[in-house]
Amino acid sequence: MSRPDPARRAALGLIVGVLEDRESLSEQIGAEALDGLEPAQRARAQRLATTTLRHLGRADRILKPHLRRRTPTDVMAILRLATVELLEEKQAPHGVVDAAVTLVKSAGPKLQSFSGLVNAVLRKVSEEGEKWATTPAPEMPGWLRGRVMSSFGKKAAQAMEVAHLAGAPLDLSVKDEAASWAETLGATLLPTGSLRLTDPGKVSELAGFEDGAWWVQDAAAALPAKLLAPASGAHVLDLCAAPGGKTLQLAAMGADVTALDISEARLERLAENLDRTQMEAEIVAADALEWEPDAPFDAILLDAPCSATGTIRRHPDLPFIKDGTSIKPLFALQEQLLDRALQWLKPGGMLVYATCSLLPEEGEAQIKAALTRHPDLTVIRPDLPGVDPAWITEEGGLRLRPDFWPDLGGMDGFYMARLQRSA
């Protein structure tokens, strides 16, 4: 019997880990799921798993008419992976079908009997290119779709699903000289000042990586620090800071930054990022619900923990591992963090509240409620270059969605608002 391809086998492990154990791809990879593979195989396994999860709902639509009896999870995962390889990646049918049959045969005695079915189904699937082209983008899970539709409407929800399917380009934030770096890297300079690469190759091999001239950060994620825009030398708290994309921006603006996060592991990445970009910040590992600063801050950026539903483009595993109930405790945590942070703000100081979420409960509703709890707060409306005034919400926040900038390649979903404490 021939041996299964290690990258495909590892990809299957990742897919089953997401669907059965509800473990995210990054958790599994962090827990050494891909250790033992060559770098090229690691990258391929990760790409295969990501692409399969992104297209899972479409693969199931293609497979369903061909499956009459209940198919075990592992066999389904092999069929889904192979369907995506055949129809999305347009790999040669012979190699993909053989690889899938080998995977079933090596999956243990109970599953071996499915090798004939896998062979027959995939041969039919390989002829369904036309149907694939018209199979719509997978829907968001019901708990998320319902909320998104009631906030933004059905058309917007569908446009977001199309954006989720398209995936995300690579965006960079630069320390300075954005136009010149755009030219060097062959990148698009986006209206808000981020750089965008559609086919970047290996990030660590791009010009400027070693010297720390830039860091990877979605264009939407780059806006909260721009909205805060502290003066050079201002004493700024980056609350919930790791892995540090916004800390780097604030440090590059010349602010004196305290970067606080509860996760020591994520703070290690923040320290590495500061090191590579040759910038400085004071790093504090603490629970923000218990920590107290020595003195109030001129400005605070609170990038609160959230459902991360704005990042499905780059994390297609997310819809399978989260549900409406597991995220509810975050709403209360966001409120507590916001109230605590406001106590540490100097009179007249600015606080930017941000979440990478599509849910109004984690954005618009948090700010409306905070304005009622704290009558000394005013919302200062966004005035950033490249920001469409239509993105500004009724309470004066900024709602960003994955279906915005469709011709430029989209952006992550985000919400942010700039609050000023009365002097």
- Residues serving a catalytic function are 356
**Candidate segments 73-81, 242-250, 310-318, 394-402, binder of ligand SAM by CB under 6 A:** 242-250
Binding ligand SAM by CB under 6 A: which of 135, 151, 184, 263?
A: 263
| Residue 363 touching ligand SAM (CB under 6 A) | no
- Residue (of 352, 370, 347, 328) closest to 240 by Cα position: 352
171 labeled part of a ligand binding site: no
- Taking CB atoms, the residue at the shortest distance from ligand SAM is 240
Measured CA to CA, the distance from residue 243 to residue 373 in angstroms comes to 31
Strand partners, 237: 258, 300
Q: How far is the CB of 132 from ligand SAM (least distance, A)?
A: 35
* Contact call for residues 136 and 59 (beta carbons, < 8 A): no
Ligand-binding annotation for 243, yes or no, is yes
Q: Is 201 annotated as a binding residue?
A: no
Q: What mask of x and - would describe binding to ligand SAM in positions 201 to 240, judged by CB under 6 A?
A: ---------------------------------------x
Angle value at C-alpha 414, between 409 and 420, nearest 5 degrees: 135
CB atoms within 10 A of CB 199: 7
Question: If binding is defined by CB under 6 A, does position 362 make contact with ligand SAM?
Answer: no
The span from the CA of 167 to the CA of 144, in Å, is 18
* Residue closer to ligand SAM, measured from CB, 121 or 239: 239
Q: Are 221 and 412 in contact (CB under 8 A)?
A: yes
Closest approach, Cβ 417 to ligand SAM, in A, equals 16
Rounded Cα distance, 15 and 9, in Å: 10
- Other beta carbons within 10 Å of 211: 11
Given the complex with ligand SAM, which of 5 and 238 has the nearer CB atom?
238
Is 271 a residue that touches ligand SAM (CB under 6 A)?
no
Is the Cβ–Cβ distance between 170 and 203 less than 8 Å? yes
Least distance (Å) between residue 285 CB and ligand SAM:
9
Shortest Å, Cβ 298 to ligand SAM:
18
Residue 261 labeled ligand binder: yes
Q: Which tokens is 98 given?
A: 């053989």
Q: Which is nearer to ligand SAM, 179 or 286 (CB)?
A: 286
What are the φ and ψ backbone dihedral angles of 348, each rounded to 5 degrees? 85, -10
Is residue 303 near ligand SAM by the rule CB under 6 A? Answer: yes
Which CB atom, from 52 or from 258, has the smaller least distance to ligand SAM?
258
Sketch the per residue contact string, 274 through 293, with ligand SAM: x for CB under 6 A, - otherwise. Answer: -------------xxx----
How many whole angstroms separate alpha carbon 250 and alpha carbon 202?
26
Residue 287 counted as an annotated binding residue? yes
Query: Residue 15 CB, nearest distance to ligand SAM (Å)?
Result: 25
Say whether residue 246 binds ligand SAM (CB under 6 A): yes
Dihedral angle of Cα 215, 220, 221, 225, to the nearest 10 degrees? 100
Measured from the CB atom, the residue of 138 and 397 that comes closer to ligand SAM is 397
Q: What is the DSSP code (8-state) at residue 392?
A: B
> Was 365 annotated as part of a binding site?
no
Is the CB of residue 41 less than 8 Å from the CB of residue 61?
no
Residue 262 binding ligand SAM, by CB under 6 A = yes
**What's the closest the beta carbon of residue 246 comes to ligand SAM, in angstroms?**
4
DSSP assignments along 300-348, one per residue: EEEE-----GGGTTT-TTHHHH--TTTTHHHHHHHHHHHHHHHHTEEEE
Q: How far apart are CA 178 and CA 412, in angstroms?
A: 21
Residue 103 or 342 having the CB closest to ligand SAM: 342
Output 107 or 330, the one with its CB closest to ligand SAM: 330
Interacting residues toward ligand SAM by CB under 6 A: 240-246, 261-263, 266, 287-289, 303, 305
Binding-site members for S-adenosyl-L-methionine are 240-246, 261, 287, 303
Binding-site members are 240-246, 261, 287, 303
